[in-house]
Structure 1
Amino acid sequence: MAKFRVGCVPYVNAAPLIWPFVEDENRPIEVIFDVPSQLPARHQTGEIDAMLVSSIDALRTPGAHIVDKVCIGSNGPVESVRLFSRVPFGMIQTLALDQSSMTSNALAQIILREGYGSRPNCMAFPPDLEVMLDVCDAAIIIGDNGLTAQSPGARVLDLGQAWTDNYNLPFVWALWTSHRPIDPELANLLQSVLNHPVEESYPFAIKSSGWEPELVARYLTNCVQFQFGNEEQIGLQLYASKLQQNAIVSEVFYPTITEGTPAPN
């Protein structure tokens, strides 16, 4: 029986962080997959010890803890988090938010306000780009849908690229997070995935997603990164300050970072 249980979103970009535990029969960690909106509730009941969730969760939760050294981040184009618009970005008056990602929705509002002087009225939608653009000037699509979505004639803004262009820092999309202290042994196990080349996660990502191998390789190698280092911490701190400066959240709380410690022999 696994010593720890963690909750994870069922997205391709999470594959390099969890595949060793899913495929190991003697795994020390059991991975439970669920949609982002359900993971905090499962964590609160004690069903899972930590969860891979949007970075905004850690920033708006008093007393949150995160695992050091590992994240889902980007430093340039991310391709899977994009804004589509029927009008120039500075003229967007209504914005359809993807109801599955609070972090991306908040980032889009920061970029539009600070980069284009636009303060659109926002409303949440299921991730159906055609419906969203029928109702609003612009729409945000994230995740696996965001990577493949198309809208002929629309202007497209890659939000990962926009963040890095504006602030010259990487962006942190998701972190291993807990609303209570994280066992250092669990943190060490979650960090251990960094000992594996990302290429080793390709078979699991291909099998679980149905994506073509070439797309998986390009996305996991060129679009996302998994190190949570000094630059990523600075980027996360800046995102936290932007959330408050733009009144997207009323108060932010920078989480406690948990170092990993190997289990005693």
Structure 2
Amino acid sequence: MTYRAGWIHYTNVAPILDSLVLPPDVTAITGVPTEMNDALLSRRVDIANISAVEFIRHAAVLEALPDFSVAVLGPVYSVNLFHTRPLAALERVALTSQSAMSVALLEVLLRGQGLSPVLERAEGTAEELLAAGFDGVLRIGDSALREWYGVVGPLTPETTMTSLPHTARGITVTDLAEAWFERTGHPFVFAVWAYHRDNPPPAALIQAMREARREGIGHLAEVAARHARKLGLPERVVQHYLWNFRYHLEAPDRLGLAEFAQLSVPGHAPLRFGPRPGAAAASR
């Protein structure tokens, strides 16, 4: 029987997916986070790198690979709130329909500060929506990365990625992962690689993913250069963006995921993960 994968193939997972060679009995489709969330939950695919919040919401039936994540410790650069007023003065915020994760994170951060602006679904670039009357716009993914650089760039030879301004032309860019880190001190996990507990992935697929990740991380400059051309961004911007990510769901990432789960979905079912590589051998 064919095993079906659903990949959210943004630049941030290029080090895993670009060089992935699927086993003969595995097929794959791609889509935005909300599409792949729905595809997994409706069983149109068998595994997907879904939004962590959907994994939490459906923890009673889902399990995740134990050593795969899309996480950051500090800024992520591609989950951004663009705003023209201070956060405390926001009245209308436009939300993307592409990501449940970023919306849930924004809601947690706003509640933590006692803020409750009106949140509305609307699509368009940050500057288009700000011009249309919103005073805040949530953007994600490759588009958000380009738009972030459109506000804070261009880089000069003396500029480092860590010293870029976050305000220009009356627009402030608040990086939601950085805001999470400032609040908690933990990494933020945006996605896990989840599947229904009764239908785990074949070992050959997991091994292929691990080999592809090793290849991608080992050749990060090449991956960054390739995607910089697609995005129309400087190579060093995309390379910095990619080396920021944590792809192995380590102990600090799980702590951050557990804290977010408690804040976003109180009373959720316990989060379950498959056995770690070598766990069976170690137990013998």
TM-score (norm 2): 0.78
Question: Secondary structure in 1 aligned to 2:273?
Answer: strand
2:196 to 179, 185, 196: 179
Larger mean Cα displacement after TM superposition, 71-80 or 56-65: 56-65
Contact 1:51 1:176 (C-alpha < 8 Å) held by counterparts: yes
Q: Give the deviation of 1:45 after TM superposition.
A: 5.9
Partners of 2:100 and 2:40 lie apart in 1 by 18
Aligned to 2:274: 258
| AA of the residue aligned to 1:219 | Y
Question: Secondary structure in 2 aligned to 1:96?
Answer: strand
Q: Give the deviation of 1:68 after TM superposition.
A: 0.7
RMSD: 2.7
The answer for unaligned runs of 5 or more in structure 2 is: 152-168, 279-284
The answer for unaligned runs of 5 or more in structure 1 is: 246-250
Partners of 2:276 and 2:44 lie apart in 1 by 21
Quick check: 1:220 aligned with 2:265? no
Larger mean Cα displacement after TM superposition, 42-51 or 151-160: 42-51
**Pair 1:237–1:84, CA change in 2 (3 A):** same
**Pair 1:259–1:94, CA change in 2 (3 A):** same
Between the two proteins, the alignment pairs up a number of residues equal to 252
Partners of 2:41 and 2:75 lie apart in 1 by 34
Q: Give the deviation of 1:93 after TM superposition.
A: 2.0
Quick check: 1:123 aligned with 2:141? no
Partners of 1:100 and 1:5 lie apart in 2 by 21
Partners of 2:247 and 2:44 lie apart in 1 by 25
Q: Give the deviation of 1:54 after TM superposition.
A: 1.0
Quick check: 1:200 aligned with 2:198? no
| AA of the residue aligned to 1:153 | G
2:255 to 234, 239, 244: 234
Partners of 2:264 and 2:195 lie apart in 1 by 20
Quick check: 1:144 aligned with 2:118? no
Aligned to 2:156: none
Give aligned-pair identity as a percent.
23
Aligned to 1:72: 70
Aligned to 2:182: 165
| AA of the residue aligned to 1:210 | K
| AA of the residue aligned to 2:215 | H
Partners of 1:229 and 1:243 lie apart in 2 by 21
**Pair 1:200–1:28, CA change in 2 (3 A):** farther
| AA of the residue aligned to 1:12 | T
2:104 to 103, 106, 116: 106
Quick check: 1:36 aligned with 2:56? no
Q: Give the deviation of 1:12 after TM superposition.
A: 0.3
